A = this chain, B = another copy of it.
Protein backbone atom coordinates (compact mmCIF):
# COMPACT_ATOMS: atom_id res chain seq x y z
CA UNK A 1 0.00 0.00 0.00
CA UNK A 2 0.99 3.61 -0.48
CA UNK A 3 1.70 5.52 2.71
CA UNK A 4 1.72 9.24 3.51
CA UNK A 5 2.27 10.84 6.92
CA UNK A 6 0.81 14.20 7.96
CA UNK A 7 1.09 16.46 10.98
CA UNK A 8 -2.36 17.18 12.36
CA UNK A 9 -2.85 20.90 11.77
CA UNK A 10 -4.27 23.03 14.59
CA UNK A 11 -7.02 24.52 12.37
CA UNK A 12 -8.13 20.95 11.55
CA UNK A 13 -9.38 20.53 15.13
CA UNK A 14 -12.84 21.67 16.19
CA UNK A 15 -14.54 22.71 19.42
CA UNK A 16 -14.71 19.06 20.53
CA UNK A 17 -10.88 19.17 20.74
CA UNK A 18 -10.42 16.47 18.16
CA UNK A 19 -9.99 16.55 14.38
CA UNK A 20 -13.21 17.59 12.64
CA UNK A 21 -14.88 14.93 10.52
CA UNK A 22 -14.62 16.99 7.32
CA UNK A 23 -10.80 16.81 7.38
CA UNK A 24 -10.46 13.10 6.58
CA UNK A 25 -11.58 13.46 2.91
CA UNK A 26 -8.95 16.20 2.59
CA UNK A 27 -6.20 13.87 3.82
CA UNK A 28 -7.53 11.09 1.59
CA UNK A 29 -7.43 13.35 -1.49
CA UNK A 30 -3.87 14.41 -0.69
CA UNK A 31 -2.75 10.80 -0.17
CA UNK A 32 -4.18 9.87 -3.60
CA UNK A 33 -1.61 12.03 -5.38
CA UNK A 34 0.50 9.00 -6.48
CA UNK A 35 -2.69 7.59 -8.05
CA UNK A 36 -3.29 10.92 -9.84
CA UNK A 37 0.26 10.66 -11.23
CA UNK A 38 -0.45 7.27 -12.80
CA UNK A 39 -3.06 9.01 -14.97
CA UNK A 40 -1.37 12.42 -15.22
CA UNK A 41 2.39 12.17 -14.54
CA UNK A 42 2.98 15.94 -14.74
CA UNK A 43 -0.13 16.72 -12.64
CA UNK A 44 -1.23 19.00 -15.51
CA UNK A 45 -4.26 20.95 -14.27
CA UNK A 46 -5.35 21.90 -17.81
CA UNK A 47 -5.98 18.26 -18.73
CA UNK A 48 -7.06 16.56 -15.56
CA UNK A 49 -8.29 13.03 -16.35
CA UNK A 50 -10.24 12.00 -13.23
CA UNK A 51 -13.49 12.89 -11.52
CA UNK A 52 -14.75 11.73 -8.14
CA UNK A 53 -18.04 9.80 -8.10
CA UNK A 54 -18.54 8.97 -4.42
CA UNK A 55 -16.87 8.29 -1.12
CA UNK A 56 -17.57 6.76 2.27
CA UNK A 57 -15.77 7.45 5.54
CA UNK A 58 -16.03 5.43 8.76
CA UNK A 59 -14.78 7.01 11.96
CA UNK A 60 -13.40 4.40 14.35
CA UNK A 61 -11.70 6.47 17.05
CA UNK A 62 -11.20 10.16 17.74
CA UNK A 63 -8.21 11.71 15.99
CA UNK A 64 -6.11 14.00 18.18
CA UNK A 65 -3.88 17.01 17.72
CA UNK A 66 -0.19 16.57 18.56
CA UNK A 67 0.40 13.15 17.00
CA UNK A 68 1.10 12.45 13.32
CA UNK A 69 -1.37 10.51 11.22
CA UNK A 70 -0.48 8.04 8.47
CA UNK A 71 -2.81 7.44 5.54
CA UNK A 72 -2.45 4.06 3.82
CA UNK A 73 -3.83 3.85 0.30
CA UNK A 74 -4.61 0.82 -1.85
CA UNK A 75 -6.92 -0.16 -4.69
CA UNK A 76 -10.06 -2.16 -3.92
CA UNK A 77 -11.11 -2.90 -7.51
CA UNK A 78 -10.63 -1.71 -11.08
CA UNK A 79 -13.50 -1.52 -13.59
CA UNK A 80 -13.68 -0.42 -17.20
CA UNK A 81 -13.75 3.33 -16.61
CA UNK A 82 -13.83 3.56 -12.81
CA UNK A 83 -11.88 2.24 -9.84
CA UNK A 84 -12.21 2.19 -6.08
CA UNK A 85 -9.48 3.46 -3.74
CA UNK A 86 -9.46 2.10 -0.16
CA UNK A 87 -7.79 4.24 2.48
CA UNK A 88 -7.06 4.05 6.19
CA UNK A 89 -5.95 6.62 8.75
CA UNK A 90 -3.67 5.41 11.51
CA UNK A 91 -2.61 7.35 14.61
CA UNK A 92 -0.50 5.98 17.47
CA UNK A 93 -0.65 2.49 15.89
CA UNK A 94 -4.44 2.51 15.96
CA UNK A 95 -6.79 2.47 12.97
CA UNK A 96 -8.85 5.63 13.53
CA UNK A 97 -10.73 6.06 10.22
CA UNK A 98 -11.15 4.32 6.89
CA UNK A 99 -12.95 4.97 3.64
CA UNK A 100 -13.46 4.14 0.01
CA UNK A 101 -13.52 6.55 -2.91
CA UNK A 102 -14.76 5.82 -6.43
CA UNK A 103 -12.92 7.70 -9.16
CA UNK A 104 -13.82 7.78 -12.85
CA UNK A 105 -11.49 8.23 -15.82
CA UNK A 106 -13.12 11.32 -17.29
CA UNK A 107 -12.80 13.65 -20.25
CA UNK A 108 -13.66 17.16 -19.05
CA UNK A 109 -13.98 18.39 -22.68
CA UNK A 110 -16.66 15.92 -23.76
CA UNK A 111 -17.90 15.59 -20.13
CA UNK A 112 -17.92 11.79 -20.50
CA UNK A 113 -16.27 8.89 -18.75
CA UNK A 114 -13.78 6.88 -20.80
CA UNK A 115 -12.03 3.51 -20.50
CA UNK A 116 -8.94 3.30 -18.32
CA UNK A 117 -5.92 2.58 -20.58
CA UNK A 118 -4.53 -0.93 -20.17
CA UNK A 119 -1.10 0.16 -18.93
CA UNK A 120 -2.67 2.26 -16.17
CA UNK A 121 -4.94 -0.65 -15.20
CA UNK A 122 -1.83 -2.75 -14.76
CA UNK A 123 -0.22 -0.12 -12.57
CA UNK A 124 -3.36 0.22 -10.44
CA UNK A 125 -3.37 -3.54 -10.02
CA UNK A 126 -0.01 -3.36 -8.23
CA UNK A 127 -1.81 -1.66 -5.33
CA UNK A 128 -4.75 -4.10 -5.16
CA UNK A 129 -5.61 -5.18 -1.63
Chain A interface residue count, Cβ-Cβ cutoff 8 angstroms: 37
- A window 55-86: CB within 8 A of B: 55-59, 62, 65-66
- Give the copy number: 4
Look across to chain B and name the residue whose beta carbon is closest to the beta carbon of A61: B111
Chain B residues contacting A22 (CB-CB under 8 Å) are 11, 22, 25-26, 29
Chain A at the B interface: SS class: mixed
User: Is A16 among interface residues, defined by CB-CB distance under 8 A?
Assistant: yes
Interface digits, A3-20 against B, CB 8 Å rule (1 contact, 0 not)? 000010111011111101
User: Is A120 among interface residues, defined by CB-CB distance under 8 A?
Assistant: no
Chain B residues contacting A17 (CB-CB under 8 Å) are 15, 45-46
